[in-house]
Amino acid sequence: MISKAKMKVIRSLAYKKFRDEQGLFVAEGNKLVADLLPVFDCEWLIAHSRWVATQRNVPEKVLIRAEDDDIRKISLLQSPQDVLAVFRKPAYALEEAVPSSQLILALDGVQDPGNLGTIIRLACWFGIEHIVCSPDTADAFSPKTVQASMGALAHVKVHYTDLAEYVERSPAVPVYGTFLDGDNIYKKRLSPSGILIMGNEGNGIRPELEALLTERIYIPPYPSARKTTESLNVAMATAIICSEFRRVGSI
């Protein structure tokens, strides 16, 4: 049985203010919760008996068995599944995000939670362990971002800091950014380490960060003379660029 107090807390976690105050976030879905359980500290695991029956090593001390109606009342999804978990937000050390030895993905004001979740998933696929975000980037632990990440939060550490200060503290590493006047990425020699900055969906990379770039790159349309859309979605562009970094790095 889920108490009214717990229901109130869970529903409040739809809002960043309460996620920050309580240090908690929500994950929903049969596979998503199973992926995150071994990685994050779980406060409450609210699950139907049919989900519990399919799992090994369910933490009984936090398990609350619930029926469909109970889960529906607390779910933040339009189509609730058999399990919802409340996890503790992790505390990561920014010092681990060392661009001299690895490729760091930096996000400058990416606003859409769905885009952020997709980018986290892409980072996981391409072996990028750290994403460093400006403070005005969407919250990595919002319900929409968590869902869109499809469990990749278990493998990618997301940090929030002043990006200009972070870049300035990382001397002697290449700093990449995308611009229409940049070099063709398919003809560019790319480094296996450094910082790749992806900008805001509408405004791109802000001027103070642009001034810190060492490399300006561009994804050309095909064929080059063909009239096309103005730009790519930031998550789509991130996928193409990360793929090219890894392709070049594997040659």
Domain of 80, CATH number, reads: 3.30.1330.30
Largest CA distance in the chain: 63
- Half-sphere exposure for 70 (CA within 13 Å, toward CB): 18
Percent of the chain with pLDDT over 70: 96
Given 88, 107, 141, which residue is the final one in a domain? 88
Residue 23 buriedness (CB in 10 A; 0-12 / 13-18 / 19+): middle
For the chain, which residues score pLDDT lower than 50? 251
| Each residue's pLDDT tens digit, 153-173 | 999 999 999 999 999 999 889
pLDDT for res 243:
96
Residue 18's H or E segment, with its range, is helix 16-22
Number of helices followed by number of strands (H, E) in the chain? 10, 10
Give dist(CA 168, CA 209) in Å, integer: 10
Count Cβ atoms below 10 Å from residue 205 Cβ, excluding itself: 22
Count Cβ atoms below 10 Å from residue 30 Cβ, excluding itself: 16
- For residues 101 and 190, membership in a common domain is answered with yes
Domain that holds residue 138: 94-250
CATH code of the domain containing 124: 3.40.1280.10
- For residues 77 and 102, membership in a common domain is answered with no
pLDDT for res 248:
77
